[in-house]
Amino acid sequence: MADNQPPNQPPMGNPAVVGLAGFGLTTLILQLHNLELCGLGPVIACGLIFGGFAQLMAGLQEFKAGNNFGYSAFCSYGAFWIALCIILLFNKYDIYTSSGTDVGYFLIVWTLYTIILWIGAMRIHGAMATTFTSLLAGFILLDLAHFGYPAMTKVAAYVLIFCALNAWYMMAHVILKQVYGRDVLPVGKPWIDPKPVPQPLGQQAGASVSH
């Protein structure tokens, strides 16, 4: 999610293209399962490998780039997919089984975490804000689905398909911008663009000296 490169270093790939690809693809497959269009096997396979480990690796590369947002998002949602797949596998083989309510509380905690990133996403650009708004809405709908409103599962599926496609849009933005040397797919302005708070004159002078 960051394009910063250390000085005097050979150019490196942007880890966001892998993280967003894994997030989008795995989210999309899970929603196809929730819409009863595919079985659970592809969800677990992609959830462990692409949504899980690949996102974790992307997050660790964001750590090296000094991007806390990407570091937190990719590592955390990578861990989310691994944890969800473990829950599904444990339920399948009757090991430490989780009830629907148990999964609901699991999702509520992730909803709270997503709120934090959603606030940050609105300060990055429009596509990021749209992705996290739809992700947050999807989590809330899934929370409701696990606490007495099962019809919300399919509503959440459509919202999260939109979220997944937005993640792929951002991935394509990064890839095509480098390939074509220009911004082929614009991501839009931040939804929140606060003006910098002016510093007192004395602090400004001190800052200029220290740098």
The model's pLDDT over 181-195, given as tens digits with 9 standing for 90+, comes to 999 999 999 999 866
- pLDDT of amino acid 6: 55
Q: Which of 80, 69, 184, 159 minimizes the C-alpha distance to 116?
A: 69
Q: Average pLDDT in the 3-26 region?
A: 84
Token reading at 120: 């940050």
Q: Which amino acid is residue 54, in one-letter code?
A: A
pLDDT of 207: 38
pLDDT tens-digit map of 33-47:
999 999 999 999 999
Helix ranges, 7-125 (H): 16-34, 41-48, 55-64, 68-92, 100-121
- What's the one-letter identity of residue 204? Q
Mean pLDDT of 154-167: 99
> Residue 202, Cβ neighbours under 10 Å: how many?
8
Instruction: Tell which wins on pLDDT, 66 or 7.
Output: 66
Closest alpha carbon to 59 in 21, 19, 26: 19
Spatial contact of 128 and 187, defined as CB atoms under 8 Å apart: yes
Statement: residue 210 has pLDDT above 60: no
> How many Å separate Cα 136 from the centre of its chain?
10
**pLDDT digits 0-9 by tens, 86-110:** 999 999 999 999 999 999 999 999 9
- Indicate the residue type of 12: M
Residue pair 169/159 in contact (Cβ under 8 Å)? The answer is no
Q: Is 22 helix (H, G, I), strand (E, B) or coil?
A: helix
Q: Which two tokens stand for residue 130?
A: 């749209």
Task: Please state, in angstroms and rounded to a whole number, the distance separating the CA atoms of residues 154 and 157.
Answer: 5
Nearest to 18 by CA among 69, 78, 79, 76: 78
In the predicted structure, residue 156 carries a pLDDT above the cut 60: yes
3-state secondary structure of 156: helix
CB distance 164 to 135 below 8 Å:
no
